Structure 1
Amino acid sequence: MAEANVSFLSTFRFANLSARSQELFPGVAVAVLVAVAAKFLSEHYGSPAMLMALLLGIAVSFLSEDEKAAPGIAFSARTVLRIGVALLGARISIDLLVGLGGPLIALVICGVLATIAFGLFVGRFFGHKWRFSLLTAGSVAICGASAAMAIGAILPRDERSEERLIFTVVGVTVLSTLAMIIYPILANVLNMSTTEAGVFLGGTIHDVAQVVGAGFSVSVETGDTATLVKLIRVAMLAPVVLIASIAIRSMADANPDEKRPPLLPFFVLAFLILAGINSAHLIPAALAEFLSESSRWLLLIAIAAVGMKTHLKQVLGVGIAAIGLIVVETLFIGAFILIGIRLIT
C-alpha cells in the first residue's frame, strides 16, 4: 500500500512538472531567441549585449500579451533573473583582494556605499522616491544592469516596477558605454599610472564588459587591475542586497499594507555560498568559468524578458529628471574615486 502511494505521488509530481514545463516553454523559448539575437549583434557590431536584449525585447513586447507566451516570459523575467544573479557568486574570490592594498580596497568599498547614500539623498530633489533612487544608485555603484536586476528583484512591486527597471538598465548601459570611450582618454590626460588608471576605470564604469574594454584599451596591466577592482564592486552586491532586503522588510513590518519580503532572498544566499566555495578553491576553474558564462546568459535571457514585458512609451514616461539622477550619480562616483586616488597615491 505504501509503495502504491509513493508511486502515485511520484506520478502526480511528474505530471505537474511536465504540465508546468509545457506552460513555460513558449515564453522561455522566445526570451532565449531574443537573447541569442542580442548576443549575435553584440559580437558582430560591438554593441552592449544587455542593451541589445532590452531593445529587441521591447520591439516584440506584444508577445507578453499572448496567452501562450506570457507565463514563460514572466518566469524568465523573475526566476531566471534571480538564478543568474546567484551564479555571479562563482566569479568572486577572496584572492581578488590580495595585492591591491588596503587603502585602494577601502576606497572602492567606500565609493560604493557613498554613491548609494548620495543617490538616496539627492533622489528627492529630482522628484523620485527611495525605490527608484536605490535602484539607480545601486546599479551605478555596483555593477550596472546586473545590480539593477538584483535590486529590482527585492523592491516592493507596483504598476511601474518594470518601466523603472528597464529605464535604469538602459541608462546605466548607455552611460557605461560612453565612459568606456571617455574615461581612458581622461586617464591619459591626467597622466595616471597603470595602477591608478585601472582603479579609476574599474571603480567608476558601471558594467563589467565596458570595464574590461576600457582597461585593456589602455594596457594589459591596466586591464587586469580594472577587472580586479570591478569584481570587488560586484562582490558588494550580496551585502548591499541583503541589507536593503532587511530594511525593506522592517518597513513592511511598520506598514501592514506592504508585503513582507524574505529576510534573506534565496539568490543572495546562493551568491554568498558560491563566493565562499570559490574562495576556498573548491570550484574547479573550468566549472567556475562555466557558471560565470551561464550567469551572463541567464541575465541576458532575463533582461530580454523584462524588455518584452515593457512598452517603450512607458519607459519614456519616466521623465527627464530620471536621466538627470543617473547622470549625477555617475558623476559623483567618478569624482569620488578620482579624488580618492589622488589622496592615496
Structure 2
Amino acid sequence: MLHPAPPPTRSLTERVVARIRLLGPGLALCAAAAGLALAATLVLPTLSALLTAIVLGVLLRNLVPLSPRLEPGLAFAAKPLLRLGIVLLGLQLVLGDILALGPGMIAVVIAIVVGGIAATLLIGRWLGIGATQRLLIACGFSICGAAAVAAVDGVVDAEEEEVVTAVALVVIFGTLMIPLVPFVAGLIGLDDRQAGMWAGGSIHEVAQVVAVGGALGGTALGVAVVVKLARVLMLAPVMAVIGLQQRRALAKAEFESGADAPGGRRAVKRPPLVPLFVVGFIVMVAIRSLGIVPPAVVVGAGVAQTILLAAAMFALGTGVRFSMFRRVGVRPFVLAGASTVVVAGIALAGVALVG
C-alpha cells in the first residue's frame, strides 16, 4: 500500500519569512501607534505614552473595522512584547534607592500591596466576581497596573476578556487619580514629599505616577517614582505566592480526580512558580543594583521599555470592545473603585505615620 509522501520540511529562512508575514501587519500597526503616542508626549510632555497608546487602541477597535490579518501581530504585542517590556523595567530599579526610603516606608509599601490584594479579593468575593477576575484586578491595582495583570495571567492563564477588562479598569481608574491626587493632597495639606509618597503608593501605573509627580513638582516626582518602583519590586514575591497556590490547587485536583493513579487521566500541566519574564525582571534589578550598567544603557533600555510597553498597551486596547462592558456588568467597576479607595487609604495612612 502506497503512503503519501510527507510534506517537505521548510528551511529556517522560509519559517522566519512565514512568521514575519504572519505577525508583520499587526506589529507594524503597533509600532506606528507607539510612535504616534511617543510623538504626542513631545508635544504635550504631561501626557503618558502608555495611556495614549491604549486609548488609541480602544478607539481604533471600536470605530474602524480591523482586518483579521492584524490579529496575530496584535496578540504577539499584547503578550511577548509586554513581557519583554516588563523585563527591561527591571533596569529602572536600584535596590539602594528603595532601601533609602527607610524601614517605615518599606513597611508601608508591603502593607499597601498585601492589604490591597487581600481587601480586593474579599470585596470581589462579596460582589460575586470570579476568582481569576478579582485576582487580576487585585494585583493590577495593588502592585503595578498592566504589568501585574500580565504577570498574573502568566501564572493563572486567565481568559482574554478577563485580562482586557482588568487592564481597561487600570487605565480608567488610574487616569482618574491623576487630577484627584494633587487636588486632595493640597486640600489636606500634604507637603511635596508627602504628596509624592502618597502618589507613588496609591496610583496604579508607573506612567500615571510620573504624570502626577511631575504636576506636584521635582521633589514629589523623585520620591513618587521610588515608592512606586518599590511596589513594582513586590511583583516577584506575590507571583511566587500565587504560583505556589496554583500548583497546590492543581495537585489537589489531580489527586481527587485520580489523575496520578495508574491508568488515571493525564496530569494537568502545572503553572510556573514564577513566570520566566518575572525572573528576567529580577535579574535586571540585580544587574542594575550592582552598578555595572552604563548610564547610556539604562537610558536606552528605558526608551526601549517605553516603546515596547506602548505597543503592548495599544494591542491590549484593541481588545477592548465597548460591548464587552455590557457583558461584564457593573460589578468589576465597583470592585475597581473599591480597590482604588482601599489602596489610596492604606497609602495615605502610612504616609501620615512615617512621612
1:264 paired with 2:267, answer: no
Cα distance in 1 between the residues matched to 2:319 and 2:171 = 19
Equivalent residue letter for 2:194: E
Equivalent residue letter for 1:219: G
1:116 paired with 2:117, answer: yes
Cα distance in 1 between the residues matched to 2:32 and 2:210 = 26
Q: Classify 1:141/1:226 alpha carbon distance in 2 versus 1 (closer, same or farther; 3 Å).
A: same
Cα distance in 1 between the residues matched to 2:182 and 2:60 = 36
For residues 93-112 of structure 1, the aligned pairs below 5 Å read 93-112=94-113
Equivalent residue letter for 2:34: A
Q: Classify 1:240/1:292 alpha carbon distance in 2 versus 1 (closer, same or farther; 3 Å).
A: farther
- Report what 1:153 is aligned to: 154
Question: C-alpha deviations, 1:2-37, integer Å up to 9, x for none?
Answer: xxxxxxx9x933332233223221221122223323
Equivalent residue letter for 2:55: L
Contact 1:156 1:258 in 2 (8 A): no
CA shift, 1:189, in A, is 2.2
- Report what 1:274 is aligned to: 284
Cα distance in 2 between the residues matched to 1:201 and 1:137 = 18
- Secondary structure of the corresponding residue to residue 328 of structure 2: coil
Contact 1:162 1:306 in 2 (8 A): no
Cα distance in 1 between the residues matched to 2:16 and 2:301 = 25
- Secondary structure of the corresponding residue to residue 172 of structure 1: helix
Equivalent residue letter for 2:231: R
Give structure 1 stretches of 5+ with no counterpart.
1-8
Cα distance in 1 between the residues matched to 2:211 and 2:57 = 25
CA shift, 1:287, in A, is 0.8
Cα distance in 2 between the residues matched to 1:246 and 1:291 = 31
Q: Classify 1:220/1:59 alpha carbon distance in 2 versus 1 (closer, same or farther; 3 Å).
A: closer
Contact 2:239 2:274 in 1 (8 A): no
Contact 1:48 1:173 in 2 (8 A): no
Cα distance in 1 between the residues matched to 2:65 and 2:155 = 26
Cα distance in 2 between the residues matched to 1:329 and 1:248 = 23
Q: Classify 1:17/1:63 alpha carbon distance in 2 versus 1 (closer, same or farther; 3 Å).
A: farther
CA shift, 1:193, in A, is 3.0
Deviates more, 1:282-291 or 1:259-268: 259-268
Equivalent residue letter for 1:228: V
For residues 1-345 of structure 1, the aligned pairs below 5 Å read 12-44=11-43, 47-61=47-61, 66=68, 68-157=69-158, 161-256=159-254, 259-345=269-355
Deviates more, 1:294-303 or 1:252-261: 252-261
Q: Classify 1:306/1:195 alpha carbon distance in 2 versus 1 (closer, same or farther; 3 Å).
A: closer
Deviates more, 1:251-260 or 1:308-317: 251-260
Equivalent residue letter for 2:144: C
Contact 2:50 2:207 in 1 (8 A): no
Equivalent residue letter for 2:223: T
Contact 2:168 2:320 in 1 (8 A): no
Cα distance in 2 between the residues matched to 1:258 and 1:136 = 26
Equivalent residue letter for 1:120: L
- Secondary structure of the corresponding residue to residue 117 of structure 1: helix
- Secondary structure of the corresponding residue to residue 317 of structure 1: helix
Task: Kindly tell me the number of residue pairs found equivalent between the two proteins.
Answer: 332
Contact 2:79 2:150 in 1 (8 A): no
- Report what 1:4 is aligned to: none
CA shift, 1:214, in A, is 1.9
Q: When the two structures are superposed, what TM-score results if normalisation uses the length of structure 2?
A: 0.85
RMSD: 2.4
Deviates more, 1:199-208 or 1:314-323: 314-323
